[in-house]
Amino acid sequence: DTAVSQTPKYLVTQMGNDKSIKCEQNLGHDTMYWYKQDSKKFLKIMFSYNNKELIINETVPNRFSPKSPDKAHLNLHINSLELGDSAVYFCASSPLGTGELFFGEGSRLTVL
């Protein structure tokens, strides 16, 4: 069983489109995250949810909107995609209070 799973793994789309990436974790963790990894492998946190509530919202364009229907799911919706949004997006989860993250395999988004 995959602990943190994201879909789709690859996404190629045109500028201006809207797309979503889904994430699910079966570890029973309270906290979930979205991280963005750029072409140079630099990782930066975008959002964090604890038990469906937003707790971290870094400086991210408001075209990016996370949604957590329950504590096992955290989806990322992106409106009006731009070339600079091309990256690998990682979902992660962690038990509360540990700082230890469990990552999904990533979703590679390519905007043409």
Partner 1 sequence: GNSVTQMEGPVTLSEEAFLTINCTYTATGYPSLFWYVQYPGEGLQLLLKATKADDKGSNKGFEATYRKETTSFHLEKGSVQVSDSAVYFCALSAGGGSQGNLIFGKGTKLSVKP
Among 48, 74, 85, 111, binds partner 1 (CB under 8 A): 48
Residue whose C-alpha is closest to residue 34's, from 112, 110, 106: 106
Q: Which is nearer to partner 1, 51 or 80 (CB)?
A: 51
Residue whose C-alpha is closest to residue 14's, from 80, 99, 93: 80
Helices (H) and strands (E) in the chain, counts: 0, 11
Using the contact rule CB under 8 A, the part of the chain among 11-19, 66-74, 78-86, 93-101 near partner 1 is 93-101
Q: Which is nearer to partner 1, 33 or 85 (CB)?
A: 33
Find the shortest distance in angstroms from Cβ 33 to partner 1. Answer: 6
Contact between 97 and partner 1 by CB under 8 A: the answer reads: yes
Query: How many C-beta atoms lie closer than 10 Å to residue 26's C-beta?
Result: 12
Measured between alpha carbons, how far is 16 from 59 in angstroms, rounded to an integer?
21
Using the contact rule CB under 8 A, the part of the chain among 16-24, 36-44, 64-72, 73-81 near partner 1 is 36-44
Measured between alpha carbons, how far is 12 from 112 in angstroms, rounded to an integer?
7
Residue ranges in contact with partner 1 by CB under 8 A: 4, 31, 33, 40-45, 48, 55-56, 90, 92, 94, 97-106
